[in-house]
Amino acid sequence: MDSKDNGVDNGAEQSGRRGFLSKSAALGLAGVTLGLVACKEEAGAAKGGAAAPQKEGASKEIAPGQLDEYYAFISAGHGGEARVLGLPSGRTLKRIPVFNTDCMVGWGVTNESKAIMGTKADGTLKYTTGDTHHVHGSYKDGTYDGRWLFVNDKIHSRLARIRMDTMECDKIVELPNVMGFHGLFTDKCDPVDTKINYTTRVFCGGEFHIPLPNDGRDLDDPTKWGTLFSCVNAETMELKWQCRIDGNNDLVATSYDGKLAASNQYNTENAADLNGMMAAERDACVFFNIERIEALVKAGKFTTIGGSKVPVVDGRKAANSDPKTSVTCYVPVGKNPHGVNASPDGKYFVCSGKLSPTATVIELKRVMAWFNGELKEPRDAVVAEPEIGLGPLHTAFDGKGNAYTSLFLDSQCVKWNVDAAIAQFKGDKTAKVIIEKMDVHYQPGHNYSSMGETKEADGKYLNSGNKFSKDRFLPVGPLHPETEQLIDISGGKMHLVADHTAYSEPHDGIIVRRDIVKTRQIYNMDDFPNAVKPENAGIERHGNKVHVRLMSQAPAYSMPIIKVKKGDEVTLTLTNHDKVEDLTHGCALPTYNINFIVNPQETKSVTFKADHAGAFWLYCTHFCHALHLEMRSRFLVEA
């Protein structure tokens, strides 16, 4: 069985009944034997649901052909992509190349993807590596609007946007003067104009401090280095402003009213080595007053750094001694904290302690009171600090007042009650804070709950993203897969629903109700200005620049012979004229390193130098038809 056959199997397994029918309809339309279809049906039926849930409690089984209730959009770490799963089955639905290259779809191969990824003067990609950690959606009315996903690249400090209708990346921006862009979060409302109750900004935390600008100065004096918190316009994906802070950023959270964003800081010491970063007994969560920062930018009270034109507002303590004009508020939290997460009721941010066995609950009303001069100390905004276990990293919520924190060192997920923690902090010794601790396998990093980062948190599922699977799966050499464990949190007691393997290395993700996601099944040909139609198809030559305009329609390309000369610069544009859902064609050109797909009614192009003569079969890589193997053209390069 070649890789193509595998692709068909997976397709049948993942697409469910509806997708399967439309593909068979496509093949029927094309007037072909049904042999292929029958074989696909068997494959789908035999494989069934990828993850048979354990029989326990209220968990629902997803039968073969049945659709999942949720999408999970997750990051892939240094794989550089984003991934889409169906939950609760755990089926992999899609991998979305973002900062990585991907020869299945041709990401990093086509001109269109290269333009999004960014190229050097010679036309090659500026970067081919990425490190995605955090995926967050755009909001309206405090819940996902199904429009966009945003994902960070920690290596090269880039923010990418993914359209949720096609689930493809459409824009990438590089943050100037930032290194180690880690946490990100979308805003949920404008801080001033409450009619703008949807996402217009994305906040990005810079984790590593660097010389500003980073041009060779101050190399030997890290005490002069700094970090920036960046705000990107969600619509244009341009930088709006940056804010320079003391200490560093790690993860980011935003308030539901749009007034506050915050980042946990593990290096308030501004240290450049491990011991230094662990020197202070407490670190902080830095809050940004968005309205004030934007007022300063508007009033021209900012600087710029190096060649960047982005306004930089000073959020360091020395420049912000008066709370009533301050743009930042540094709230002390447990030592070397990790995640910061907003509770779905809009009242609190929770910082996990990491080196402290605590979580710190910060009341946003009190942070605003500090900014208004009504609260004495930033530390007075802390309303609880329960002891929850060892190595707390990230906190998710169920919308019923409970928090679920991953405990890396304890290999557990701890369920605790926020109100009880607040009562305990006030002195109530009978308050029962810890409700349950559950073992997970093993060393969880991120956890996230169904709709948990929205006002519609529904308390049904929690995914625990575990960094080590150890003995849970068949060995595959030195590197093990990771374990994503799905936990049912709908009943009184947590219980494990399924284990999924994950290829390294997912971090954060979100679980989105399926009715929110409205995908587009066929492109509009007119959305592509370079679409090839019968009237412009063919070969056009200007000197040694040759434009080959090709169309695909199962099972053939529009030209059986494409002839160019050695030394030509060839641009090949391909439009897929098939208008049936899932009827995708590939385009591979041997020895020229060209490989990409075109979805129904989509147009893509590649440009390359025809630098060696010979006959090359340009062939379809994507199983599209019973005559798929015959779908090829002769690409002839004359010496």
Taking the CA atoms of 113, 115, 118 and 121 in sequence, report the sign of the dihedral they define.
Answer: positive
Nearer to ligand RUQ, 133 or 547 (CB): 133
- Does residue 336 belong to the site contacting Ca ion (CB under 5 A)? yes
Per CB under 5 A, which of residues 273..292 are in contact with Ca ion? 277, 280, 283
Q: Which of ligand RUQ, Ca ion, ligand CUA, none binds 415 (CB below 5-8 Å, type-dependent)? A: none
Nearer to ligand RUQ, 303 or 504 (CB): 504
Per CB under 6 A, which of residues 466..525 are in contact with ligand RUQ? 507-508
Binding mask 569-598 for ligand CUA (x = CB under 6 A): ----------------x-------------
Return the amino acid letter for 313: V
Per CB under 6 A, which of residues 529..568 are in contact with ligand CUA? 554-555
Q: Which of ligand CUA, ligand RUQ, Ca ion, none binds 133 (CB below 5-8 Å, type-dependent)? A: ligand RUQ
- Does residue 188 belong to the site contacting ligand RUQ (CB under 6 A)? no
Nearer to ligand CUA, 86 or 555 (CB): 555
Q: Which of ligand CUA, Ca ion, ligand RUQ, none binds 507 (CB below 5-8 Å, type-dependent)? A: ligand RUQ
- DSSP tag of 67: P
Per CB under 6 A, which of residues 591..630 are in contact with ligand CUA? 620, 622-625, 628
Nearest-angstrom CA–CA distance, 509 and 500: 15
Three-state SS across 288-349?
EEHHHHHHHHHCCCCECCCCCCCCEEECCHHHCCCCCCCCEEEEEECCCCCCEEECCCCCEE
Q: Which of ligand RUQ, ligand CUA, Ca ion, none binds 445 (CB below 5-8 Å, type-dependent)? A: ligand RUQ
Q: Which of ligand CUA, ligand RUQ, Ca ion, none binds 338 (CB below 5-8 Å, type-dependent)? A: ligand RUQ
Sheet with 461-466: list strands edge to edge.
444-449, 461-466, 482-488, 495-502
Nearer to ligand RUQ, 158 or 446 (CB): 446
Q: Specify the stretch interacting with Ca ion by CB under 5 A; choose among 248-256, 334-342, 384-392, 515-523.
A: 334-342
Nearest-angstrom CA–CA distance, 59 and 71: 17
Nearest-angstrom CA–CA distance, 123 and 104: 21
Per CB under 5 A, which of residues 165..184 are in contact with Ca ion? none
> Quick one: which of 91, 133, 240, 366 contacts ligand RUQ (CB under 6 A)?
133
Q: How far is the CB of 330 from Ca ion (least distance, A)?
A: 13
- The distance of Cα 464 from the centroid of its chain, to the nearest Å, equals 17
Q: Which of Ca ion, ligand RUQ, ligand CUA, none binds 554 (CB below 5-8 Å, type-dependent)? A: ligand CUA
Nearest-angstrom CA–CA distance, 56 and 607: 56
Q: How far is the CB of 478 from ligand CUA (least distance, A)?
A: 37
Nearer to ligand CUA, 555 or 600 (CB): 555
- Does residue 480 belong to the site contacting ligand CUA (CB under 6 A)? no
Tokens of residue 137, six digits: 């959606």
Contact 582, 519 (CB under 8 A): no
> Quick one: which of 136, 161, 335, 338 contacts ligand RUQ (CB under 6 A)?
338
- Does residue 182 belong to the site contacting ligand RUQ (CB under 6 A)? yes
Report the relative pairing of strands 561-565 and 632-638 from DSSP bridges.
parallel
Nearest-angstrom CA–CA distance, 17 and 10: 13
Task: Please tell me the count of residues contacting ligand CUA according to CB under 6 A.
Answer: 10
Q: Which of ligand RUQ, Ca ion, ligand CUA, none binds 176 (CB below 5-8 Å, type-dependent)? A: none
Report the relative pairing of strands 382-384 and 594-598 from DSSP bridges.
unpaired
At residue 224, φ and ψ (nearest 5 deg) are: -90, -5
At residue 383, φ and ψ (nearest 5 deg) are: -110, -5
- DSSP tag of 367: H
Per CB under 6 A, which of residues 390..409 are in contact with ligand RUQ? 393-394
Q: Specify the stretch interacting with Ca ion by CB under 5 A; choose among 87-95, 264-272, 379-387, 465-473.
A: 264-272
> Quick one: which of 40, 446, 480, 577 contacts ligand RUQ (CB under 6 A)?
446
Task: Please tell me the count of residues contacting ligand RUQ according to CB under 6 A.
Answer: 11
Q: Which of ligand CUA, ligand RUQ, Ca ion, none binds 44 (CB below 5-8 Å, type-dependent)? A: none
Q: How far is the CB of 402 from Ca ion (least distance, A)?
A: 28
Estimate the share of the chain in helix, then strand, then coil, as percent rounded to the nearest 5: 15, 40, 45
Q: Which of Ca ion, ligand CUA, ligand RUQ, none binds 336 (CB below 5-8 Å, type-dependent)? A: Ca ion
Contact 96, 168 (CB under 8 A): yes
Nearest-angstrom CA–CA distance, 368 and 374: 9
With a CB cutoff of 8 Å and minimum separation 6, the contacts of 472 are 441, 483, 499
Give the number of C-alpha atoms closer than 13 A to the C-alpha of residue 410, restricted to the C-beta side: 20
Nearer to ligand RUQ, 91 or 446 (CB): 446
Q: Which of Ca ion, ligand RUQ, ligand CUA, none binds 585 (CB below 5-8 Å, type-dependent)? A: ligand CUA
Q: Which of ligand CUA, Ca ion, ligand RUQ, none binds 283 (CB below 5-8 Å, type-dependent)? A: Ca ion
At residue 494, φ and ψ (nearest 5 deg) are: -75, 140
Return the amino acid letter for 217: R
Nearest-angstrom CA–CA distance, 299 and 317: 20
Nearer to Ca ion, 280 or 613 (CB): 280
Q: How far is the CB of 341 from ligand RUQ (least distance, A)?
A: 11
Nearer to ligand RUQ, 154 or 292 (CB): 154
Q: How far is the CB of 570 from ligand CUA (least distance, A)?
A: 21
Compute the C-alpha angle 133/137/139, nearest 5°: 150
Nearest-angstrom CA–CA distance, 608 and 598: 18
Contact 326, 293 (CB under 8 A): no
Q: Applying CB under 6 A, which residues contact ligand CUA?
A: 554-555, 585, 620, 622-625, 628, 631
Q: Applying CB under 6 A, which residues contact ligand RUQ?
A: 133-134, 182, 338-339, 393-394, 445-446, 507-508
